[in-house]
Structure 1
Amino acid sequence: MSAPVLTVADLGVRIGDRNIVSGIGFEVAREQTHGIVGESGSGKSMTVLAATGLLDAPGAVVTGSSTLAGAPVRQLVGASPRTLRAVHGGRIGFVFQDPGTSLNPLLTLERQITESVEAHRHSTRREARTRALELLEAVGLPDPEARLRSYPHQLSGGQRQRVMIAIALACDPELLIADEPTTALDVTTQAQIIELVRDLQRDFGAAVVWISHDLGVIGQVADDVTVLRDGAVVEQAAVTDVFDNPQQPYTRELLAARPRLGDAGPPPAPDAPVLLDVSGLDVTFSVDTPGGRTSVHAVQDLSFTIRRGTTLGLVGESGSGKSTVAAALTGQLRPAAGTATLDGTPVGDASMRRRISMVFQDPFSALNPRLSVATAIAEPLRTHRLADGRAARAARVAELLELVGLTPDFAKRYPHELSGGQRQRVCIARALAVEPELLILDESTASLDVSVQDRVLDLLARLQQELKLTFLFIAHDLAVVQRVSHDVLVMQAGRAVEFRPAAELFASPEQDYTRELLAAVPPERPRSWV
């Protein structure tokens, strides 16, 4: 192996009297990838921000050493702002988790890419534009010449992430930092981004530090792995050693929590009558584009049923129409054609406000930060007059919190005092407050750590058994869908591709698109890169 590009030794971060990160050390060499993995709050991002000089938390004190090799060698801990400006964007490129917030919505893609080229390479505007075009071609963006004039909102999530990678590689950096770059993406786009980074790493020769909460992803990208917990190293070894012979219980827990194809699904559901019957659903809506207002045919002639007490997994890539189906069933969008009935009653009926409830993807934005947990859960109780008086509402709130595995004292807390998994449990409790017949879960575990996701999926299975709930479970990850679903509906470009019992579909998928989705799920073993 060549000499390390980045060497981190005894790195520590202290804020006030609290040690956030302590004793972290690792190395990464040219054309190598070092994975940093752990749950939310383990110190992954804090470690890399401190090691690269990007940490800007009030009162933070960074100790230890972080050395960037090359000409000249730079000590990044304690470096001056002038030194860091010369390094960031030039010698170190960054790809962050959410390209939607990382890209400037007011600037074209061309300007966002050429900015760093002009600043670090002192290129002319013409040279920088040529470089931007080369990069968009390298990251596989379709019609790159036209895309130079596009704005971020005109791209899909996967396309925006490709642009972020182009910006990060604009000045041929020696080191690429990838902080959860695929977490918000569907599995096929995730697989494409992983493959793209590996190809570009080979072409550009950069060292990569890849941060993730998912050991399945790390197994696809990393040569070596550092497992963090509570700001300290739990385990550090070659990726194959971590998968084949994990030394620590925490590492084994992370490995066991990964969703994997082949895991047992729910027990067979007894024969039950149809609860939701959707026939010929067609949804069209208008959007603004550079060429003017245009119509999007989001869902086309879609039909399916859900039996009472069962789970239908609705799966497909981003843009396939999954969330549009949920919006149509909950009255957020008016279908252009088709019917949907819940136990014989049209879903547009006013009574559906209670009979269909929904849990959204992001628990951080689903709860009002100004409202306590008690107020958030009690709101639907007041709206639908399901509990008379404060005492009755408080008792029902406590009952709902216990139902989702939280103690009644959580009622006094505010969203910022909760972890991601706790927030999602509160969102589930709030959705259950109206005692719905159908619960729609729209990517409700996609943003969670795999270990937290594992516990939330167990919670949903328990609630379905105890309360005889019916679920519409929307997801892009077939491994998760297999674990929870009795039946599966696969969608692509607004149309149904396959609608079959889960056991049959996973045993023998009939359509190429379904097979592509299955192939994109990270395998149980690390990928061997040659």
Structure 2
Amino acid sequence: MADPVLSVRDLRVRIGRREIVRGVSFDVERDATLGIVGESGSGKSMTVLAATGLLDAPGAVVTGTSTLGGASDAVSTQLVGASPRTLREVHGGRIGFVFQDPGTSLNPLLTVERQITESLEAHRNMTRRQATDRALELIEAVGLPDPQTRLNSYPHQLSGGQRQRVMIAIALACDPELLIADEPTTALDVTTQAQIIELVRELQRDFGTAVVWISHDLGVIGQVADDVTVLQDGQAVEQAPILDVFDRPQQPYTRELLESRPLVGDQGPPPVDSDAPVLLRVDGLDVRFAVSTPVGRSTVHAVKDLTFQIRRGSTLGLVGESGSGKSTVAGALTGLVEPHAGSASLDGSDVFGVRGAAAKALRRRISLVFQDPYSSLNPRMRAGAAIEEPLRVHRLANGKHGRRKRVEELLELVGLPGGFASRYPHELSGGQRQRVSIARALAGEPDLLILDESTASLDVSVQARVLDLLADLQRELHLAYLFIGHDLAVIQRMSHDVLVMRDGAAVEYRPAAELFDSPEQDYTRELLAAVPPSRPRAAVSGD
């Protein structure tokens, strides 16, 4: 048997007095994919960054060994403690990296061509002409349409999925022995995620590259990995082939990760009384934006003649890919976006046409929870102050003591101790920050809560707990939800009715049970097919 492409033994990372990574060992074989899975803070990225010599945290001390090479005719290189010169030769040349957010990984001032040719000129000593020809081949290999035009594009001119394909092209430019994919699909739609997963598998077959795929979602790991290392608190708690992890998990933590995955076919929410009154009614919503382009002003038709309704105590799932117009609908309902045409009424009160005090009173009845709780909370404001702000604005509690007591009640309502009021956002976990955001949204005592991808950035186990919390709050407070998402498994779990959008228009609008049992439109079936299944790919393919 050939030596592994990467062999890591007793890897440890200490920052100050705290040991972040504790004695992790693993091997990555040629043509194989190792999945590293765990929740945020488990040490996944820290482990791989330390193993590849890319960790640059102040005061970090890395011990153990990490050996690259030994497969085929590769030169064996010790990465832990390697010199900067050695690491510069290895990074980009023998190890390629694809990170979670291509928007921050790509240089906004350089064209796609220059960002690909840079590593070819540095590591393969190619001329500019040779590097450009190779860049064009790579753009074609990763499946970008109109490759020549894409080479001359800047990152902001590409979609999220296209930017991630460019990152993969850059990572594979020098035919690396090892590809590190750190949450490369977390920020993408399920359909784009499925395309990226398949693309990496095809390129792995073509180039023979070993892959380390990092994720918090065992459903994604099941579609890409041959072997799995499960990390918890910086320690490998389970290491086994993918089928063994799915069929015979040995650790409670692994079983928790498996049970937390949202799956199409899971039971939806309990039915709502058929006589429940309609709370929100939207008719013919039309939203257009004027944008500047290289050839002049243009108009983007973001939402096209959209009609729907939400009953009290029920949830409407609004689903579609990025750019389908979902968040624009939320913006129109909350006054952040001016609609071009259409009407909306909340309990008979006009939503779009009101001004002044009437608009302020109406906005209190519609609250919005965003996707990223860290960026939606003021980093300089304690959690209690953030929750108290709507109470002051809308005069919903009497005096300072009354507001403080109401803040404690809201924190308890979302499952947090009252003492969390004194904490800043950076002192909270992702799930705790989202609970604070929900408490803040509930402070105005709304009738309708709009949840815009509010669990998409969370670990699957944390996501499951937040979804349970939302279901409990709906029952207790008789809230109506507009639940916006791109993952149909999550939408099914939460929704009574589902509206599927594409390019700003309604594709399918039906009760959730009917839509999931027998989708009528090809696009809906495509979204359903893109959700990672309950069984790993190896079980289906017989690999």
Question: TM-score normalised by the shorter chain: which range applies?
Answer: over 0.9
The structural deviation recorded for 1:363 is 1.0
Q: Name whichever of 274-283 and 43-52 sits farther off.
A: 274-283
The whole-number CA distance in structure 2 between the counterparts of 1:465 and 1:315 is 23
AA of the residue aligned to 2:301: H
**Structure 1 residue corresponding to 2:365, chosen from 349, 355, 366:** 355
The whole-number CA distance in structure 2 between the counterparts of 1:369 and 1:309 is 33
Q: Which position in structure 1 is the counterpart of 2:50? A: 50
**Structure 2 residue corresponding to 1:93, chosen from 93, 96, 109:** 96
Q: Which position in structure 2 is the counterpart of 1:28? A: 28
The whole-number CA distance in structure 1 between the counterparts of 2:419 and 2:406 is 13
Q: Which position in structure 1 is the counterpart of 2:520? A: 510
The whole-number CA distance in structure 2 between the counterparts of 1:307 and 1:345 is 15
1:76-475 mapped onto 2 (5 Å cutoff): 76-271=79-274, 272-348=276-352, 349=354, 350=359, 351-475=361-485
The whole-number CA distance in structure 1 between the counterparts of 2:130 and 2:398 is 70
Is the counterpart of residue 520 in structure 1 residue 524 in structure 2?
no
The whole-number CA distance in structure 2 between the counterparts of 1:292 and 1:84 is 46
| SS of residue in 1 equivalent to 2:273 | coil
Q: Which position in structure 2 is the counterpart of 1:66? A: 66
AA of the residue aligned to 1:462: D
The structural deviation recorded for 1:219 is 0.2
The whole-number CA distance in structure 1 between the counterparts of 2:129 and 2:294 is 24
Tell me if structure 2 keeps the 8 A contact 1:154–1:289: no
Number of aligned pairs?
A: 530
TM-score (norm 2): 0.96
Q: Name whichever of 111-120 and 345-354 sits farther off.
A: 345-354
Pairwise CA RMSD: 0.9
Tell me if structure 2 keeps the 8 A contact 1:89–1:173: yes
The whole-number CA distance in structure 2 between the counterparts of 1:518 and 1:329 is 28
AA of the residue aligned to 1:296: V
Q: Which position in structure 2 is the counterpart of 1:40? A: 40
The structural deviation recorded for 1:17 is 1.0
The CA deviation string for residues 460-500 of structure 1, in whole angstroms up to 9 with x for no partner, is 00000000000000000000000000000001111101110
The CA deviation string for residues 143-177 of structure 1, in whole angstroms up to 9 with x for no partner, is 11011111111111111111111111111110000
The structural deviation recorded for 1:2 is 3.9
AA of the residue aligned to 1:119: A
| SS of residue in 2 equivalent to 1:457 | helix
Q: After the TM superposition, which segments of 4 or more aligned residues of structure 1 sit over 6 Å from their partners? A: none
The CA deviation string for residues 421-465 of structure 1, in whole angstroms up to 9 with x for no partner, is 000000000000000110000000000000000000000000000
| SS of residue in 1 equivalent to 2:162 | helix
Q: Which position in structure 2 is the counterpart of 1:13? A: 13
The whole-number CA distance in structure 2 between the counterparts of 1:442 and 1:4 is 44
**Structure 1 residue corresponding to 2:501, chosen from 478, 488, 491:** 491
Runs of at least 5 residues in structure 1 that lack an aligned partner in the other structure: none
The whole-number CA distance in structure 2 between the counterparts of 1:41 and 1:152 is 30
The structural deviation recorded for 1:106 is 1.2
The whole-number CA distance in structure 1 between the counterparts of 2:290 and 2:87 is 45
AA of the residue aligned to 2:62: V
The whole-number CA distance in structure 2 between the counterparts of 1:521 and 1:490 is 15
AA of the residue aligned to 1:373: A
Q: Name whichever of 466-475 and 343-352 sits farther off.
A: 343-352
| SS of residue in 1 equivalent to 2:5 | strand
Pick closer, same or farther for the CA change 1:234–1:502 going to 2, 3 Å: same
The structural deviation recorded for 1:289 is 3.1
The structural deviation recorded for 1:132 is 1.1
The whole-number CA distance in structure 2 between the counterparts of 1:344 and 1:114 is 60
**Structure 2 residue corresponding to 1:477, chosen from 487, 501, 511:** 487
Q: Name whichever of 451-460 and 331-340 sits farther off.
A: 331-340
AA of the residue aligned to 1:507: D
The CA deviation string for residues 237-281 of structure 1, in whole angstroms up to 9 with x for no partner, is 000000000011110000000000111000111121111111111
Tell me if structure 2 keeps the 8 A contact 1:215–1:255: yes
The CA deviation string for residues 35-86 of structure 1, in whole angstroms up to 9 with x for no partner, is 0000000000000000000111111100100000143211000000000000
The structural deviation recorded for 1:14 is 0.6
The whole-number CA distance in structure 2 between the counterparts of 1:111 and 1:291 is 24
AA of the residue aligned to 1:410: F
The whole-number CA distance in structure 2 between the counterparts of 1:220 and 1:315 is 23
Runs of at least 5 residues in structure 2 that lack an aligned partner in the other structure: none
| SS of residue in 2 equivalent to 1:94 | strand
The whole-number CA distance in structure 1 between the counterparts of 2:326 and 2:257 is 29
The structural deviation recorded for 1:379 is 1.0
| SS of residue in 1 equivalent to 2:290 | strand
The structural deviation recorded for 1:312 is 0.3
Q: Name whichever of 368-377 and 380-389 sits farther off.
A: 380-389
The whole-number CA distance in structure 1 between the counterparts of 2:125 and 2:222 is 38
Pick closer, same or farther for the CA change 1:341–1:391 going to 2, 3 Å: same
| SS of residue in 1 equivalent to 2:27 | strand
The whole-number CA distance in structure 2 between the counterparts of 1:525 and 1:3 is 30
AA of the residue aligned to 1:229: Q
The CA deviation string for residues 343-391 of structure 1, in whole angstroms up to 9 with x for no partner, is 1111122032101100000111111111100111111111111123211
